[in-house]
Chain A
Amino acid sequence: MGGMKTIIKKELADHFASYRFTIIFALIAMVSLITAYMVGWKIKTEMEGMASQSAFLLLFTLPGAMGLFSLVQFVAFFGPLVGLVLGFDTINRERNEGTLSKLLSQPIYRDVVINGKFLAGVVLITVMMVSIVLVITALGLIVMGIIPGIEEVWRIIVYLIISIIYISLWLGVAILFSILFRSPATSALAALAVWIFFSIIFPYSVSVLANNIFETVEDNPEAIAQRAKIVKVFILLSPQELYTDATATIIDPTRKSSRSIITSGAGPMESLSMARFSGPLPLIQSVLIVVPYIISLIALTVVCFAISYVVFMRQEIRSL
C-alpha cells in the first residue's frame, strides 16, 4: 500500500497545479457564492420577523439570482461536470504520453494506480465541496444572521456526503471512459454525452413515452397516480434524479416524500389530516425516506468503479 499514498499525492499535486481544475473550481465557487449571497439577502428581507425552523436551509433550496437554479439544483446539474473534467483523461493521457508503462515499471502494483487515481479524485471532490459549502454557510451566517441548529448542521453534512458520492459516480464514469478509449477527446465526448443524456434527454423522453403509453387517464386519479409511479420508477434510473430527490428531502425538513408531486391518492381528508400537525420531520426520518436513493447512488458508484477496475486490470498495457 506504500505506493498508493505516493500516487494520491502526485495526482493531487497534478490537479491542484492544473489550469483545468482551477478554472472549473473558480467557476463553481463563483456561481455558488453569488447565489448564496443573493438568496441569503432575499431570505433576510423577506423573512424579517418570522421564526422559521429551517430558514437556514432555505439558503440551499431557494432559487438565486438567476431565477433558475438553487444551490442544490446547481450542484445536481453541474456537479457531474466537475467529476467528468477531473477524470476523463486519467488513464489514456498517461497511456498516450507513455508514462503509464514507466509508472508500472516502478515497484507499484497495477491496481494501486487506478485505486489511487480514483481516491485522489474523491479527495479532491471532497475538498472542493466541503470548502464551497463551508464558505456558503459562513456567508449565510454573515448575511442572514441566522445560526443553524444542530440538526441543520447534520442535514448539511448528510447533503455533503450524498453530493460527494454523486460527483464521485461521475468521476468513475469518466475514468471508465478514459480506460475504454485511447483518445482523451473521445472519452471526454463520450462522458459528456452520457451526462447530457441523463440531465436533459432522459427525463423528457420518459415523460413523453409515458404520455403516449397511457393516454386515456385524464380524469381518473388512480390511473394518474399509477402512471406517475411508473414514470418515477423509470426516472430513477437516472443518477441525477436520484440525487435531486435525495438531497431535496434531506435539505428540506418539511418535505415528507421524495416525490415532488404527492400522488399516493392523497385526498382532501389526507391533506387536512396532515395539515393539522405540519411540523418538520426529524432528520432520521428524512434519511430513512431517501435511504434507497443513497444506496442506489453508492451502489452505482461502486459498480462503475468496479467495471473500470476489471477493464483496467485485464488490459494489455505494455503493447503500446
Chain B
Amino acid sequence: MKRGKLNQPFWFISLLIAGLMILAVSSFAKAENAKLPARAITMAVEYPGVEISKDEDVSMDLIFHNKGRKDEDVEVWIADQPEDWQARIKTYRYTVTGVHVPSDDDKSLTFEAEPKENIKPGDYQFRINARTPDGKFRMSQLVTVKVTADEGQSKEPKGVKLATSYPVIRGPSDATFEFSLEVDSKLDEDAIFDLLAQGPQGWDINFKPAYESKYISSLRIKSRQSTSVAVEVKPAMGAAAGEYPINVRVSSSDAKAEADLTVILTGTYGLEVGTPSGLLSLEARAGRPANMSFYVKNTGSAANHDIKFMTFKPENWKVEFKPEKIDSIEAGDLEQVEVIIKPYEDALVGDYSVGVNVEGEKASRTIEFRTTVKASTAWGWIGIGIIVVVIGGLFGLFRWLGRR
C-alpha cells in the first residue's frame, strides 16, 4: 500500500509537466512558422562579377534560399552564354537541371564556365534562369566574366621558381664546382621537371640531388613544395682563366624557370718533373759526385713562382741543385735543373733511393732517383799491382837463389 500512495502523485505530476511542455513547444513553433510567408524562394550567385586571365576557369556557387513554409522544386538552366565558352551547372557529381530546396533552407549548386583556348580578352555575360514548375516564381541572375589579356610574356613563369644563394663561384681550373639550386614549385599538382644546363663547350655539367652522388636529368616535385638540387660543374681540360656563364633551366609541361650561374676560373697550378731520357737511375762512386739533369715543367695554366727543391737522402750524403731554386716558370714552360748527388765516402755498395721534392706554388712533385753506389775499382788495380810485385819478387828469388 505504501507504494501505491507514493506512485500516484508522482505519475500525475510528470504527465502534467510533459503535457505542458508539449503545449508550450508546439505553440512556440506555430508562432515561428507563422511569421514566414506561404511561399518565397530566391536565387543568387556568389560572385556576379569575376575577372580572370585567359587560361583560368570560372567556378562559383549558385545559392538557392527557400524562405517559404513550403518545400519547393526549382528548375534551373543557363539561358544565355557567349560563344567560345562551355558553361554548366552541376553538383559535386552531376550536371543538374533542377534542385529541391526544403522549406527554410539553403541549397548550393556549382556554376562552372570554361573558356575555349583562343578566347579573346573582353567581357562575357552569362544568364542563369530558374523557376518553379508552376511558374509562380521566376528568377534570373547575370554573371559577368571579364577576361584580361596576359601582359608581356605569353606565359608568366608562375609555376616554378629557381633560386640559388651563391650564383658565382671562383676556383682553379681543375676544381669541381658545385652550385646549390632551390627549385620551388608553385603548381597545384605534382609535376616532373626536366633539368637542362648550358655551359661553355667541353664543360661537364650535371645535376645531382642534394647530398647524393647520382646524376639526374629530371625531378619530381610535389605540389607547392621545394627541393634543392646540386649542379656539379667540371671545367673542360685546360680551360683558360676567365669568367664562364652557365645557364640552368627547369621546365615541366606548364611551368619553367631559369637561372644564370657564373664560374670564375683562376687558373691551375701543376708541375711535372722528369728526366729528358726518362731514366731515373744513376751510378755513383762513394765520395764522388754524380750528375743528373731533370726538367721541371709547369703544366698549370698560371705561372708558378719560387720553386724550391727538397731532398730525401741518406745521412751524410750531399745533394746539390743548379740552380738552387727557380724563381718563376711561365705556364707550359720547361726549366732544366742539374742535380749533383755525392754519396757518403763510406757508403756501402748498393742501390739507394734519393728523392727530390719539387715544391712550387700550390703544386709539388716528387721524383725518385735510384742511385747505384758502385765499389771503387781503384783497389782492384792496386791489388793487381801488389800481386804483380809479389809474384815478380818470388820469381826474382827463384832466379837469385835457384842454384842452377
* Interfacial residues, chain A to chain B (CB-CB below 8 A): 109-111, 256-257, 262, 264-267, 269-270, 272-274, 276-279, 281, 285, 288-289, 291-292, 294-295, 298-299, 302-303, 305-306, 309-310, 313-314
Residue B117 is within 8 A (CB to CB) of chain A in the complex: no
> Are B353 and A306 interface neighbours, CB within 8 A?
no
* Closest CB in chain A relative to B318 CB, distance in Å: 13
Asked whether A266 and B315 contact (CB < 8 A) given A110-B403, A288-B377, A298-B387, the answer is yes
Q: Does B79 contact A (CB under 8 A)?
A: no
- Count, chain B residues at interface, CB 8 A: 37
In the complex with contacts A265-B316, A299-B386, A305-B394, A277-B351 CB distance below 8 A: yes
- With beta carbons under 8 angstroms apart, the residue of A270, A292, A310, A314 that contacts B314 is A270
| Known contacts A294-B383, A302-B391; A256 and B350 CB within 8 A of each other | yes
Verify A295–B346 contact, CB threshold 8 A.
no
Query: Chain B's nearest CB lies how many Å from the CB of A277?
Result: 4
Contacts of B393 in A (CB 8 A): 302, 306
Asked if B390 and A302 make an inter-chain contact with CB atoms under 8 angstroms apart, the answer reads yes
The yes or no answer to B313 lying at the interface (CB within 8 A) is yes
Would B401 and A313 count as touching, CB distance under 8 A? Answer: yes
Residues 283 to 326 of chain B near chain A (Cβ within 8 Å): 312-316
Q: Which of A264, A277, A289, A313 contacts B370 (CB 8 A)?
A: A277
Please name all residues of chain B whose beta carbon is closer than 8 Å to the beta carbon of A272 when the two chains form the complex: 314, 353
A272–B402 CA distance with the chains assembled, in angstroms: 59
Q: Which residues of A contact B346 (CB under 8 A)?
A: 264-265
Q: Judge whether A264 and B375 touch: CB under 8 Å.
A: no
Which residues of A have CB within 8 Å of B349? 256-257, 281, 285, 288-289
Q: Which of the residues B352, B375, B394, B404 comes within 8 Å of A276, measured between beta carbons? A: B352
B376 within 8 A of A: yes
Known contacts A256-B348, A264-B346, A269-B315; is A277 also within 8 Å of B353 by CB? yes
- A169 vs chain B, min Cβ distance (A): 13
Partner of A273, one of B353, B374, B383, B390: B353
B10: Cβ under 8 A from any A Cβ? no
Determine how close the nearest CB of chain B comes to the CB of A192; give it in whole angstroms: 27
A306/B383 contact (C-beta < 8 A), A265-B315, A274-B350, A288-B375 known: no
Say yes or no for B94: interface residue by CB 8 A criterion. no
Q: Which residues 319-350 of B have a CB within 8 angstroms of A? A: 344, 346-350
| A288 to B286 alpha-carbon distance, docked (Å) | 13
Contacts of A270 on B, CB cut-off 8 Å? Answer: 314-316, 352
- Check A111–B353 contact: CB distance below 8 A: no
Contacts A269-B315, A288-B376, A292-B383 given; indicate if A306 touches B350 (C-beta within 8 A). no
Q: How far is the CA of A306 from the CA of B400 in the complex (A)?
A: 12
List residues of chain B with CB under 8 Å of any chain A CB: 312-316, 344, 346-354, 368, 370, 374-377, 379-380, 382-383, 386-387, 390-391, 393-394, 397-398, 401-404
On chain A, the residues within 8 Å of B403 by CB distance are 109-111, 313
Q: A267-B314, A288-B375, A291-B380 are in contact. Are A306 and B354 (CB under 8 A)?
A: no
In the complex, what residues of A have CB within 8 A of residue B387's CB?
295, 298-299, 302
Task: Assess the A269–B383 pair: CB atoms within 8 A.
Answer: no
Measured CB to CB, the closest approach of chain B to A184, in angstroms, equals 25
Q: How far is the CA of A310 from the CA of B315 in the complex (A)?
A: 51
B167–chain A nearest beta-carbon distance, Å = 51
B401 touches A111 (CB 8 A): yes
Q: How far is the CA of A306 from the CA of B314 in the complex (A)?
A: 46
- A-B contact sample (16 more), CB < 8 A, given A264-B348, A267-B314, A272-B314: A256-B349, A269-B313, A269-B315, A270-B315, A270-B316, A273-B313, A273-B352, A276-B353, A285-B374, A295-B386, A298-B387, A302-B391, A302-B393, A305-B394, A306-B397, A309-B398
- Give every chain A residue within 8 A of B353 (Cβ-Cβ): 272-274, 276-277
User: Inside 8 A of A302's CB, which chain B residues have their CB?
Assistant: 387, 390-391, 393-394
Q: Are A291 and B314 CB-contacts (below 8 A) given A262-B348, A264-B347, A306-B394?
A: no
Report A-chain residues with C-beta under 8 Å of the C-beta of B344. Answer: 264-265
Report Cα–Cα, A66/B387, bound state, in Å. Answer: 38
Chain A residues near B386 (CB, 8 Å)?
A: 295, 299
Q: Which of B314, B379, B390 contacts A288 (CB 8 A)?
A: B379
Contact B348 A310 (CB under 8 A): no
Looking at the assembled complex, report how far the CB atom of B402 sits from the nearest CB atom of chain A, in whole angstroms. 5
Find out whether the CB atom of B401 lies under 8 angstroms from the CB atom of A269.
no
By a CB distance below 8 angstroms, the chain A residues around B348 are: 256-257, 262, 264, 266, 274
Q: In the complex, what distance in Å separates the CA atom of A289 from the CA atom of B376? A: 8
| 14 residue pairs bridging A and B, Cβ less than 8 Å apart | A256-B349, A265-B315, A265-B316, A265-B344, A269-B314, A274-B351, A276-B370, A288-B377, A288-B380, A289-B375, A299-B390, A302-B390, A306-B390, A313-B397
Contact B394 A310 (CB under 8 A): no
Nearest CB of chain B from residue A119's CB, rounded to whole Å: 13
A295 to B370, CA, bound (A): 31
In angstroms, Cα B346 to Cα A267, docked, is: 13
